[in-house]
Amino acid sequence: MTTAQTSKSWVICPQPNAQAKLRLFCFHYAGGGAWSFRTWSDNLPSSVEVCSVELPGRGFRLTEAAFTNLDPLVQAIADALLPRLDKPFAFFGHSMGGLVSFELTRLLRRNYNLNPVQLYVSGHRAPQLPDPDPPIHNLPEPEFLEELRDLEGTPQAVLENAELMQLLLPTLRADFTVVETYAYTAEPPLDCPITAFGGLQDREVSYDELKAWQEQTNIAFSLHMLPGNHFFLHSAQSLLLKLLSQDLHQLICEVDPLR
């Protein structure tokens, strides 16, 4: 498989923009997909090319086996994205996607001397903090489904569709395995700013757990708390995109002073 084919299979750009000044790569949550970001281009600066990363095991990659370990997943993403890192870029990741984008940023710095101009992490505690909850990825199916129901991220109609859930369960378990088997390794703080987003009613991630992301950058850090539970990404999307739009506009001014 060529690099171009690999890149194409991993990245979806709803509105390709060869004239973009900056690329924003978006990473979805456990059980999610690139569809979460399909309308973002409509609400962000026109000089930003939104690129959604589609992991194996979902969407048009449904027949591919999902990864169960973060390290090989991040390396595979890096291999796919390298051809697209030829202009300033930023990462946005929600929940599992926040962890993926963080470790991807560290890998790119470590192995390729590349850094995003900004890392946006959403709905995930700082990586150096231990997970306070017991793992769920290996629970028997009834208990696993109950945990999914409590997270409120899977529509009730989907949970009640036995045939559809049998199709989705392997990927859901794989995604939770990626997150729950993650082992943090200390490295120097990142050489890019970090902005964290959280939900005011999120029972999974607290304000203090989000604020701890500040330890992971030696530049600037900011934190925004939005109304909603763990999936404020959807319920407070207009406010989230407004904040992102303002920030991205400033970033573009910095990378393209003549704009």
Q: Please, how many CA atoms are within 13 Å of residue 157, restricted to the half-sphere of its CB?
A: 0
**Cα–chain center distance at 252:** 21
pLDDT tens column, 101-126: 999 999 999 999 999 999 999 999 99
Within a domain: 57: yes
Within a domain: 142: no
DSSP 165-220: HHHHHHHHHHHHHHHHT------PPBSS-EEEEEETT-SSS-HHHHHGGGGGBSS-
Within a domain: 170: no
DSSP one-letter code for 236? T
Tokens found for residue 244: 């992102």
Within a domain: 86: yes
**Cα–chain center distance at 188:** 21
Within a domain: 155: no
pLDDT tens column, 60-82: 899 999 999 999 999 999 999 99
Within a domain: 33: yes
pLDDT tens column, 201-228: 999 999 999 999 999 999 999 999 999 9
The CA distance from 144 to 140, in Å, is 6
Strand partners, 119: 91, 194
111 Cβ contact partners less than 8 Å away, ≥ 6 residues apart:
78
Within a domain: 160: no
3-class secondary structure, 93: strand
The CA distance from 111 to 234, in Å, is 34
Which has the closest alpha carbon to 121: 98, 99, 148? 98
Residues annotated catalytic, as ranges? 95
Within a domain: 135: no
Question: In terms of residue numbers, what domain contains 19?
Answer: 3-130+184-255
CATH number of the domain encompassing residue 60: 3.40.50.1820
Share of the chain above pLDDT 90, in %: 76
> What's the alpha-carbon Rg for the chain, to the nearest Å?
17
As for how many domains the chain has, the answer is 1
pLDDT tens column, 122-181: 999 999 999 988 888 989 888 988 888 887 767 677 777 878 888 889 999 999 999 999
